[in-house]
C-alpha cells in the first residue's frame, strides 16, 4: 500500500514538472499595443462604412425617391456642412488616439477622407438641393478651433499615460527591454550632442512652456478681438449702405415728384 502511494506521488510530481517545463518553454506572445491599435482600426473602418453607406447612402436614396416618385412636399435633401465637420473631428480624434499604437493609421484615414470627399462632392452636386442659408465659416471658426483644441488635449491624455506609466509589452515593440517608454526616450535624448540635449531639456522645462502658453493665450485673445472688430465694422458698413440706399430712393422719389409737378 505504501509502495503504491509512493508511486502515485512520484507520478504526480513527474507530471507537474513536465507541465511546468512546457509552460516555461512555450512562447507567450502578448502585445497589448497591437490589440489597442486593432480596436482603433476597427473604429476607423466602422466610421468610414457608416459615412458611406448610412449618411451618403441615405441622401442618395432620398434623392432617388424624390426624383422618381415626384414628391414635391418631401423635396431634395439639403447639404449640411456641420455634420461633415463633426465627422472630420471624430476621424481626427481617432488618428490622435491610435497614432502611437499604429503609425500608419493617419495614412489610412487620409485615404478614407479622400474617398468620402469625392463621394460627398458627387452626391451634393447631383442629389442635394442648394442651401437656403449660406454657411459662414467666419462665424463658427473660433468654435471649431476650440473643439479641435479640446479634442487634442483629451486624446493626448491616453497617449501620455501609455508613454509615462504603462509598461511596454515584453513580446513586441522597440521598448520591450525598459519598464516605460519614457525611460527609452530619456536614454535616447541623453545620447544626443550636448547642445541639442540641453535644448530638448530646456523645451521641457516650465521656463519655456509657460511663456509659450501665455503667448498662445495672447494670440487667441488678439484674433478674437480682431474678429469682433471686423464684425462690428461689417455691421456699420451694412447699416451705412442701407442708409445710403434709402437716401437715394428718397431723392429719386422727390425727383419724380418735381418732374410731374
Distant-in-sequence, close-in-space partners of 217: CB < 8 Å, separation ≥ 6: none
User: Is the residue at 99 inside a domain?
Assistant: yes
Domain that holds residue 46: 31-131+139-166
Average pLDDT on 55-69 reads 74
Average pLDDT on 30-43 reads 84
**Which residue in this structure is represented by grid cell 476597427?**
42
Number of domains the chain contains: 1
Give me the pLDDT at residue 74, please.
67
User: Is the residue at 172 inside a domain?
Assistant: no
pLDDT at 89 over 80: yes
pLDDT at 4 over 60: no
- pTM, rounded to two decimals: 0.63
User: Is the residue at 104 inside a domain?
Assistant: yes
Dig out the grid coordinates for 58 from the structure: 441615405
- Residue 95 and residue 27 in contact, taking contact as beta carbons nearer than 8 Å: no
User: Is the residue at 151 inside a domain?
Assistant: yes
User: Is the residue at 255 inside a domain?
Assistant: no
158: nearest Cα among 42, 44, 39, 48: 39
User: Is the residue at 67 inside a domain?
Assistant: yes
Average pLDDT on 188-198 reads 75
User: Is the residue at 190 inside a domain?
Assistant: no
Give me the pLDDT at residue 15, please.
41
User: Is the residue at 234 inside a domain?
Assistant: no
pLDDT at 194 over 80: no
Share of the chain above pLDDT 90, in %: 2
Average pLDDT on 193-219 reads 81
d(CA 130, CA 126): 11
Amino acid at each position: 500500500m505504501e509502495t503504491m502511494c509512493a508511486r502515485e506521488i512520484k507520478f504526480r510530481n513527474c507530471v507537474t514538472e513536465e507541465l511546468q517545463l512546457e509552460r516555461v518553454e512555450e512562447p507567450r506572445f502578448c502585445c497589448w499595443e497591437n490589440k489597442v491599435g486593432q480596436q482603433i482600426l476597427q473604429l476607423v473602418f466602422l466610421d468610414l462604412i457608416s459615412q458611406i453607406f448610412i449618411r451618403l447612402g441615405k441622401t442618395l436614396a432620398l434623392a432617388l425617391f424624390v426624383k422618381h416618385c415626384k414628391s414635391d412636399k418631401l423635396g431634395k435633401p439639403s447639404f449640411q456642412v456641420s455634420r461633415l465637420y463633426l465627422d472630420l473631428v471624430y476621424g481626427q480624434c481617432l488618428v490622435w488616439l491610435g497614432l502611437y499604437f499604429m503609425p500608419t493609421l493617419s495614412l489610412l484615414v487620409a485615404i478614407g477622407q479622400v474617398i468620402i470627399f469625392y463621394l460627398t462632392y458627387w452626391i451634393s452636386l447631383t442629389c442635394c438641393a442648394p442651401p437656403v442659408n449660406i454657411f459662414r465659416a467666419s462665424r463658427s471658426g473660433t468654435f471649431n478651433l476650440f473643439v479641435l483644441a479640446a479634442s487634442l488635449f483629451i486624446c493626448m491624455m491616453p497617449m501620455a499615460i501609455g508613454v509615462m506609466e504603462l509598461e511596454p509589452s515584453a513580446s513586441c515593440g522597440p521598448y520591450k527591454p525598459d519598464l516605460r517608454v519614457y525611460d527609452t526616450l530619456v536614454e535616447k535624448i541623453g545620447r544626443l550632442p550636448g547642445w541639442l540635449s540641453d535644448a530638448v531639456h530646456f523645451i521641457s522645462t516650465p521656463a519655456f512652456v509657460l511663456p509659450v502658453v501665455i503667448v498662445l493665450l495672447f494670440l487667441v485673445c488678439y484674433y478674437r478681438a480682431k474678429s469682433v472688430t471686423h464684425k462690428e465694422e461689417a455691421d456699420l458698413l451694412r447699416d451705412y449702405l442701407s442708409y445710403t440706399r434709402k437716401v437715394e430712393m428718397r431723392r429719386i422719389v422727390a425727383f419724380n415728384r418735381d418732374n410731374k409737378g
